Amino acid sequence: MEAKIRVENIFKTFTLSKKQMKINKTDEKRKVAVKNLSFNAYAGEIYGLLGPNGAGKTTTLRCISTLIKPDKGDIFVNGFSAVNQANSVRKSIGFLTSELKLEEFFTPNYMFDFFAKLHGLTPEVTKQRKIELFTKFGIDSFKEVKISDLSSGMRQKVQLVISIVHDPEIIIFDEPTNGLDIITGKIVTDFLIELKERGKTIIVSTHIFSLVEKICDRVGIIIDGKLIYDELLEKVHESHGHIEELFFDLAEVSAS
Ligand SMILES: Nc1ncnc2c1ncn2[C@@H]1O[C@H](COP(=O)(O)OP(=O)(O)O)[C@@H](O)[C@H]1O
Ligand SMILES: [Mg+2]
């Protein structure tokens, strides 16, 4: 099976501002966020990058999505380099994050059309996608309400549909259920499983064991910028049982 995404030995170091140094309670000016990290993700599978806060999950996903460049190493998406062929990579990727900010003044309807146009969708395709996604996420009832007047759950639904307006074959989702109410959370996880069954390649990051158990086929455990484990979930079940047990076994070893 050929990998759809190959992450090859990426490194990323940030230079901290004085304020960031204070927040991180450190005297070090530099923070190595990702250290020599590699893994493969395959079509028709959900890969889960599992790790605690600050482990380097978002940094890794931002590198894959070409929002930032790794200092060293590269990522190949459909054979295209994220470092040197970012535009080709971007076309096939939808990056979802709850950190995305929406323009407060516009409506979901307007935002959807705007992003559809940005991706070069025809009006007919835009209309079709809108009906499909607005129905699935229950956006119709508030599609003409300004973003500034929406609840955070409503905003997240809008962010989500906008990120996948172009029906990308690869979905990168940073902490998919964070901040969602349980009903929306279930819609999102069911939707990810449906996309996977349609042959999409999906990478999610999370610190929630049960989410990995529920939706992932493969899991990578990331601690302190390093990927310390990478395996099919069914193999984890055979050798360790629940992913949570494996995680704490590994976390103990990596801390000692
Ligand atoms: N833009 C940045 N500037 C400085 N430090 C950063 C930046 N982004 C991330 N970091 C630091 O890199 C480390 C990994 O962060 P991140 O990838 O966001 O982890 P995670 O998503 O697993 O919580 C953290 O210590 C974080 O503070
Ligand atoms: Mg993060």
Question: Which pLDDT value is given to residue 256?
Answer: 64
Distance from the CA of 179 to the center of ligand 2, in angstroms?
13
Q: Point out the ligand 1 atom lying closest to the alpha carbon of residue 20.
A: 4
Question: Has residue 244 got a pLDDT over 70?
Answer: yes
What is the Cα–Cα distance from 31 to 52, expressed in whole angstroms?
16
Ligand 1 neighbour 54 (Cβ under 6 A): yes
Q: What is the pLDDT of residues 12-39, one digit of tens each?
A: 999 999 998 898 888 899 999 999 999 9
Ligand 1 neighbour 48 (Cβ under 6 A): no
Ligand 1 neighbour 55 (Cβ under 6 A): yes
Q: What is the pLDDT of residues 171-211, one digit of tens each?
A: 999 998 887 888 888 989 999 999 999 999 999 999 999 99
Question: Which pLDDT value is given to residue 148?
Answer: 94
Q: How confident is the model at residue 70 (pLDDT cuts 50, 70, 90)?
A: very high
For the whole model, what pTM was predicted? 0.93
Ligand 1 neighbour 220 (Cβ under 6 A): no
Pick from 26, 28, 59, 173 the residue to mutate for probing ligand 1's pocket: most ligand atoms within 8 Å of its CB.
Answer: 59
Question: Has residue 144 got a pLDDT over 70?
Answer: yes
Ligand 1 neighbour 206 (Cβ under 6 A): no
